[in-house]
Amino acid sequence: MKYQTQKLAYPYFVAALALFLVQVLAGVLAGTIYVFPNFLSEAVPFHIVRMIHTNALLVWLLLGYFGASYFLIPEESECEIHSPKLASLQLGIFVFAALAAVVGYLFGIHEGRELLEQPFWIKVLMVIAFLLFIYNVTMTVLKGRKTVVSIVLLLGLWGAAIFFLFAFYNPDNLALDKLYWWWVVHVWVERVWELIMAAMLAFLLIKLTGVDREVIEKWLYVIVGFSLFSGLLGTGHHYYWIGTPEYWHWIGAVFSILEVVPFFAMILWAFYLVYQSGRNHPNKAATLWSLGCPVMAFFGAGILGLMHSFPSINYYTHGTQLTAAHGHLAFYGAYVMLNLAFFTYALPALRGLQPFNQILNMWSFWFMTGAMVFMTLTLAFAGILQTHLQRVLAMGFMQIQSQIELFYWFRLGAGLCFLIGAVLFIYSALGPVREQVTISRYSQSPSQ
């Protein structure tokens, strides 16, 4: 760690991991309710559990991005963060808003629009925290060295802040509501977050492989370019059945195919760079996560998403468990793994240690990734069956649910394995250190 203010990342990562645990626990609880429908049905009904599950995910990923930005921007800009005080204030506001939201949900206080459930005043606090952050990192980048990594990251963060403003627009016309709801929901996760993802991955690859920055940055432009070209109009695959014009059918299909390209390019990019460098970075666990991330993102977000993006297929599969299968692997592969890769890389430096508990960390990788792949497969099977029974044979929804219960049991099992993996990760990242080796050799390594 070369700059003092990089330490600002540490509390962000801790808060992110705490919310990660909340998210996984809520997920396991939701999976339990699927197989024991009466479980907690009075105290914490399913819709509240689900709200906590999805909201905790979004907030901890954002906390991860904030922390990662505070960690990488000083190194990229070669200067300290503009105002450490603002960074602490921002963390305070954001964590307070997140906790207030979760407590409020438990008491049934929410706005009830899927994923944008936060009450108005919490949305306002989030925007304030976001603006403080944007101001802080933008000032830092402006006064220091401007690299492609930090510019692309800033564009992603600005985009996330600007497109969030559509969360405040809620017209009475449901079709219009949905049209703009996707401006936040799709344009965030399939667009601006991909800029953040590519920038963070580029930073990790520069550090882990030591390959010439020029080469990495040129391909960074190509990848994020492709992701924006395909992803903006790729929103079309959400506009098939909500009252929008029919031209979105072919636009959605064509650009959904193109959306796979940047994910595939990211795999080639990461593997080529790691292979080409031939350098053994001491933090093998971080390399594992950095390579796993684009691979799972390609399958989860790219391939599984593409499979039912064609209107002719989507007509039957839309709104079934197939969507849930795709959503789980897409979020895990693209954004969860990205943040865990970054934490694995940065936390040893932040704690002033050599990369430690690597074996445990790598076990957590296989536990979580294996569990998530299995969960995705079970939900995909459930979804295919559901599609046939509901959309072809026109059987009633609840009748079908009892036919696919076996898959929900498998999903619950996978969820429990994932929980074990998550606990292992948190323990390996923040837990006690058995073998504390002197820091000198690590900090002198140019690869730090």
Sequence-distant (≥ 6) Cβ neighbours of residue 228 within 8 angstroms? 191, 195
Which tokens in the block code for residue 399? 């009748």
d(C-alpha 15, C-alpha 266), whole Å: 28
Q: Does 320 bind another protein (CB under 8 A)?
A: yes
How many residues are recorded in the chain?
Answer: 448
Contact window for another protein (CB under 8 A) among 91-99, 128-136, 279-287, 391-399? 391-399
Q: Which of 196, 194, 79, 95 is nearest to 144 (CA)?
A: 79
Q: Does 432 bind another protein (CB under 8 A)?
A: no
Q: What is the radius of gyration, based on Cα positions, of the chain?
A: 21
Q: Does 163 bind another protein (CB under 8 A)?
A: no
Of the candidate residues 70, 133, 193, 240, the single one contacting another protein (CB under 8 A): 240
Which tokens in the block code for residue 306? 């593409």
Q: Which of 312, 311, 309, 230 is nearest to 264 (CA)?
A: 230
Q: Does 259 bind another protein (CB under 8 A)?
A: no
Residue 175 vs 433, nearer CB to another protein: 175
Contact window for another protein (CB under 8 A) among 84-92, 213-221, 260-268, 288-296? 213-221
The minimum distance between CB 311 and another protein, in angstroms, equals: 9
Q: Does 120 bind another protein (CB under 8 A)?
A: no
User: Would you give the DSSP letter of residue 8?
Assistant: G
Q: Does 243 bind another protein (CB under 8 A)?
A: yes
Phi first, then psi: give them for residue 280, nearest 5 degrees: -95, 95
The minimum distance between CB 101 and another protein, in angstroms, equals: 13
Task: Give the Å distances, CA to CA, from 22 to 60, 121, 132, 301.
Answer: 10, 22, 26, 23
The minimum distance between CB 163 and another protein, in angstroms, equals: 11
Contact window for another protein (CB under 8 A) among 66-74, 82-90, 172-180, 415-423? 172-180
318 torsion bin: left (phi>0), alpha (psi -120 to 50), beta (else)? beta
Of the candidate residues 21, 25, 32, 46, the single one contacting another protein (CB under 8 A): 46
Contact window for another protein (CB under 8 A) among 95-103, 122-130, 225-233, 440-448? 225-233
Q: Does 438 bind another protein (CB under 8 A)?
A: no
Q: Does 84 bind another protein (CB under 8 A)?
A: no
The minimum distance between CB 147 and another protein, in angstroms, equals: 11
Residue 74 vs 252, nearer CB to another protein: 252
Q: Does 37 bind another protein (CB under 8 A)?
A: yes
Q: Does 192 bind another protein (CB under 8 A)?
A: no
Phi first, then psi: give them for residue 279, nearest 5 degrees: -95, 140
Extract long-range pairs of 263-267: CB within 8 Å, 24+ residues apart. Answer: 263/294, 263/297, 263/298, 263/301, 263/302, 263/334, 264/298, 264/302, 265/219, 265/222, 265/223, 265/226, 266/198, 266/201, 266/223, 266/294, 266/297, 266/298, 267/294, 267/295, 267/298
Which tokens in the block code for residue 426? 């948190």
Q: Does 158 bind another protein (CB under 8 A)?
A: no
Q: Does 225 bind another protein (CB under 8 A)?
A: yes
Of the candidate residues 79, 99, 176, 385, the single one contacting another protein (CB under 8 A): 176
Contact window for another protein (CB under 8 A) among 63-71, 221-229, 277-285, 336-344? 221-229
The minimum distance between CB 283 and another protein, in angstroms, equals: 28
Residue 272 vs 316, nearer CB to another protein: 316
Of the candidate residues 16, 132, 179, 205, the single one contacting another protein (CB under 8 A): 179
Other residues' Cβ atoms within 10 Å of the Cβ of residue 6: 21
Instruction: Quickly list H helices, 3-119.
Output: 9-35, 46-77, 84-106
Of the candidate residues 168, 169, 221, 250, the single one contacting another protein (CB under 8 A): 221
Q: Does 323 bind another protein (CB under 8 A)?
A: yes
CA 422, 426, 428, 432 dihedral sign is negative
* Binding site residues, another protein, CB under 8 A: 33-34, 37-38, 41-42, 45-48, 50-51, 110-114, 117, 148, 172-179, 183, 214, 217-219, 221-222, 224-225, 228-229, 232-233, 235, 239-248, 251, 315-316, 318-321, 323-324, 390-392, 394-398, 401-402
